[in-house]
Amino acid sequence: MDHRELGVAGAYAFFPEVFPDERGDFASPYQETAFAAAVGRRLFPVAQASRSVSRRGVVRGVHYTLVPPGTAKYVTCAGGRALDYVIDLRIGSPTFGRWESLELTAANGVAVYLPPGVGHAFAALEDDTVVCYLLSEEYQKEHELALSVFDGELGLRLPPGPPVLSERDRRAPTLAEAAAQGLLPRYDG
C-alpha cells in the first residue's frame, strides 16, 4: 500500500491497491504493516467504529476533540464520494492552521489517519456517501468540539453550492474565537 504524509504534521493518507474484476472490486484500506512503516507505530487500539451516511451537499465538521484525552481517527469512504479535510488546530504545531483535502471514494479506497488534536471535516459529493471511522476513544459529547467551515482564516475551499450543515456546525466558532476561549488543543511533538 502506498502512503503519503500530508501537509499537517503527523497526518497521513493511505492508498491501497484496488483489485477489480467482473464482480466489482476488493481493497484493504487499512493494513497494519503499511501503517506501522509510515507512522512508526501500530494503529491505536480501536475504542469505537462509526459511520455516517450523507446526501450530496452535506458538510460535516470541522470537528476535533479536547486534548487530553484526544481522539485519533482513521477515516475511509465506503460508499459514494467525499471531499475530506484534515486541518491542524494544535497550538504550537509546526503546521498549525494548515489543511489538506483529498477525495475519498468507495472506488479508490483512500484512507486518512488524523492524530489527536487535528480537525476533520468532509463534504459529501454524492447522495448516500458513507464515511467510516475507526476511533481511539469512544465519543464523549463534552470532549467533542467544532469550528466553522466558513472561517476565512482557515480558508477551506468547499464544493460549489449551499452546504447542508447541522445546527451545531452552523453555530461553530472561528479559529480565533476558539483560541481566545482556550478551546484549541496543544501540540506536544
74 lies in which domain range?
A: 2-18+27-181
Residue 187: inside a domain, yes or no? no
What is the number of domains present in the chain?
Answer: 1
**Domain of 37: which CATH number?**
2.60.120.10
Catalytic residue of the set 12, 113, 133, 187? 133
Residue 186: inside a domain, yes or no? no
Catalytic residue of the set 63, 64, 120, 187? 63
Per-residue tens of pLDDT for the chain, all 189 residues? 999 999 999 999 999 999 999 999 999 999 999 999 999 999 999 999 999 999 999 999 999 998 888 999 999 999 999 999 999 999 999 999 999 999 999 999 999 999 999 999 999 999 999 999 999 999 998 899 999 999 999 999 999 999 999 999 999 999 999 999 999 999 986
What pTM does this model have? 0.95
Residue 43: inside a domain, yes or no? yes
Strand partners, 103: 83
Residue 33: inside a domain, yes or no? yes
Residue appearing with cell numbers 511533538: 189
CB 173 within 8 A of CB 91: no
Catalytic annotation present for 74 = no
